[in-house]
Structure 1
Amino acid sequence: MEMLEHQKVVLRNVSSNKVLFENEIKKSIKWLNKIDLMQFSRWLIANFNDKYPDIISKYIDKTAA
């Protein structure tokens, strides 16, 4: 499993815990390459922006996503 898909699975699994969710986003940003990071950003916004808009906006530049 590639890192992007792995991080999606992890984030789905920790999405009920805001602290763990934010920590995994930080890890993802460090680990993913630029292309995967763009896909990751779009995926985060599409799947979690309603639940954690504060965290998403803190780490993801929506104009770049």
Structure 2
Amino acid sequence: MAMLEYVKTILLKVSFSTYLFERELKKGIRYLVPAELEEFRDWCYASFGLSHRPILNRYFVTAF
């Protein structure tokens, strides 16, 4: 669970930049175990759905 919280913290800090957000999202998906990915996906859409939806759609369609 600690890795999930770490990845969330990083995304919050880099959300101002599309490039950094996409890079960190990609890394975060690689670091998390499958059991955490559903919770992470839901959190990402709730937190960044308005600002980064195309990026989220690109990575979460292929992640599951």
Q: When the two structures are superposed, what TM-score results if normalisation uses the length of structure 1?
A: 0.88
- What whole-Å deviation, never above 9, does each CA across 1:4-61 have from its counterpart, x for those lacking one? 0001000000000110000011001111001111110000011101001110100113
Aligned residues: 62
Corresponding residue number in structure 2 for 1:39: 39
User: What is the percentage of aligned positions where both structures have the same residue?
Assistant: 37
Counterparts of 1:37 and 1:25 in 2: how far apart (Å)?
A: 11
Identify, as 1 or 2, the structure richer in helix. Answer: 2
Q: Which portions of structure 1, spanning 4 or more consecutive aligned residues, are displaced by more than 4 angstroms?
A: none
1:1-65 to 2 correspondences below 5 Å = 2-61=2-61
Question: Structure 1 stretches of 5 or more lacking a match?
Answer: none
Question: What is the alpha-carbon root mean square deviation over aligned residues?
Answer: 1.3
